[in-house]
Amino acid sequence: MTAAHDAARALFTTLTGHEPDGLWSAPGRVNLIGEHTDYNDGFVLPFAIPQRTVAAVGLRDDDRGRILVGSTFADEPVEVGLDELDRLFPTPSGAHPAVPEWAAYPLGVAWALRQAAPGAGPFGGVDIAIASDVPVGAGLSSSAAIEGATASALNELWGTDLDGTALARIGRRAENEAVGAPTGIMDQMASMLGEPDTAIFLDCRSLETRPVPLGVTEAGLEILVIDTRVKHAHSTGGYRERRASCELGASIMGVPALRDVSIADLLRAQELMDDVTFRRVRHIVTENQRVLDTVQLLQEHGVRAIGDLLVASHASMRDDFEISTPELDTAVETALAVGALGARMTGGGFGGAAIALIEADAVEAVSDAVNAAFATAGFAAPLLFTVSPAAGPHRDA
Ligand code: GLA
């Protein structure tokens, strides 16, 4: 049990006056490579991390059919009738949810789960208290961890009996239609299907997955996360614009999604598109290929071989997709300058975290160098920690 388990249980008891039926948790994720490819029907290679979100949950013994959600990062809990969920969601496109945004994640999961399993039930009233040790806004999918923990708990308590992929779809629906963030499905799949020491190769069109052993420790390496502490939000701004550019690019090429554009097609794409749209398209098309190449290199030569692909991915996000920040570039350049095998920003961009693949005995040296570079540049101090691939959701108590 972690501090988040204790905090979720304590909050539950404060809110309800009794013990929860159980504690369920789900992990955040790091994406090794394959950024913004998920909503283009492409390929990604994320893994779940040890940091988890915990949901303390209990069915109510009254028959009023209400759902209460509380969280350690909100002052007040939110309570609504289960039948009201269909009126609250979907949130109209571009609008804010009718409940506080943090509450739209667990309530959106409850809404989508009921819709996905109409024959199941009865869907009794329920209390949910959430605590997390996944850093929020760091590009490590704290939101998918909330969705995964809530979905796992309700799936068991409501007897809906859905599998991990179905629960990941429910999480994405909550994110897209309740919160209103136009994200893909990578984070939810990574959180739901995580396995120790393994990355998940995911085809975002078919949702087929293949575990790819990473062997980071055996290779004498570590993956260092550098959280720049620049918070991002994907319900607004740049993320939505990038997605729109990709959809425009696909329609100009006459294909359903950029997944269907090959590297050889890029010459034609350049003739047909304005420069910005073309560069957005080039990022997606080359990033899909880098994911495939990374999987192949991991299988044939091991994790030491993938550094250059991580670096190329970062350059593509910085120059073509334009989602990096000065802090992320500093993190990546500094790590590489002091010997990282590879480094790149991870997640949606516009802030959040970078990862660096480094020698296990270089954690301190790289951390010191990054801290010093941030101080020199006048950036806030970053948060640095190593991660290794971890398990997906489970019931902990
Ligand atoms: C966010 C979204 C994901 C994905 C990444 C970028 O994490 O939630 O669906 O698009 O950004 O790869």
372 alpha carbon – ligand 1 mean position (Å): 29
Largest CA distance in the chain: 66
Return the pLDDT at 119: 85
Return the pLDDT at 359: 98
42-86: per-residue pLDDT in tens?
A: 999 999 999 999 999 999 988 789 999 999 999 999 999 999 999
Identify each DSSP E strand in 174-313 by its residue range. 198-203, 209-213, 221-227
Spatial distance between the Cα atoms of 343 and 283, rounded to a whole number of angstroms: 17
Return the pLDDT at 121: 79
Q: What is the dihedral of CA 50, 55, 56, 61, to 10 degrees?
A: -150
Return the pLDDT at 64: 84
93-138: per-residue pLDDT in tens?
A: 889 999 999 999 999 999 999 999 988 878 999 999 999 999 888 8
DSSP 346: E
DSSP 135: P
Q: Does domain 215-387 have CATH number 3.30.70.890?
A: yes
Return the pLDDT at 268: 98
Spatial distance between the Cα atoms of 193 and 168, rounded to a whole number of angstroms: 9
Q: Does domain 3-211 have CATH number 3.20.20.70?
A: no
Of residues 187, 227, 320, 396, which has the active-site annotation?
A: 187
337 alpha carbon – ligand 1 mean position (Å): 28
Where do the structural domains in the chain lie, given as residue ranges?
3-211, 215-387
Closest-CA residue to 343 (of 236, 7, 335): 335
Read off the tokens for 72. Answer: 């350690």
Q: Does residue 147 line the site of ligand 1, with CB under 6 A?
A: no
Return the pLDDT at 138: 87
Helical ranges in 22-141 per DSSP H: 85-88, 101-116
Non-local (6+) Cβ contacts of 206 within 8 A are none
Spatial distance between the Cα atoms of 284 and 35, rounded to a whole number of angstroms: 8
Q: Does residue 36 line the site of ligand 1, with CB under 6 A?
A: yes
pTM confidence score: 0.97
Read off the tokens for 183. Answer: 């994200």
348 alpha carbon – ligand 1 mean position (Å): 5
Verify whether residue 187 is a known catalytic residue.
yes
Q: Does residue 187 line the site of ligand 1, with CB under 6 A?
A: yes
How long a stretch of residues is the chain? 397
Return the pLDDT at 363: 98
Non-local (6+) Cβ contacts of 268 within 8 A are 253
Q: Using alpha carbons, list the distances in angstroms from residue 388 to 275, 373, 385.
A: 39, 25, 10
Minimum-distance ligand 1 atom for the alpha carbon of 184? 9
Return the pLDDT at 235: 58
Among protein residues, the one whose CA lies closest to atom 1 of ligand 1: 348
**Mean pLDDT in consecutive groups of 10 residues from the start of the chain, 397 residues:** 96 98 98 98 98 98 91 96 96 92 98 92 94 91 97 97 97 97 96 97 98 98 97 78 97 98 98 98 99 98 98 98 97 98 97 97 98 98 98 97
Cβ neighbour number for residue 73 with a 10 Å cutoff: 10
Q: Using alpha carbons, list the distances in angstroms from residue 240 to 100, 124, 235.
A: 21, 36, 7
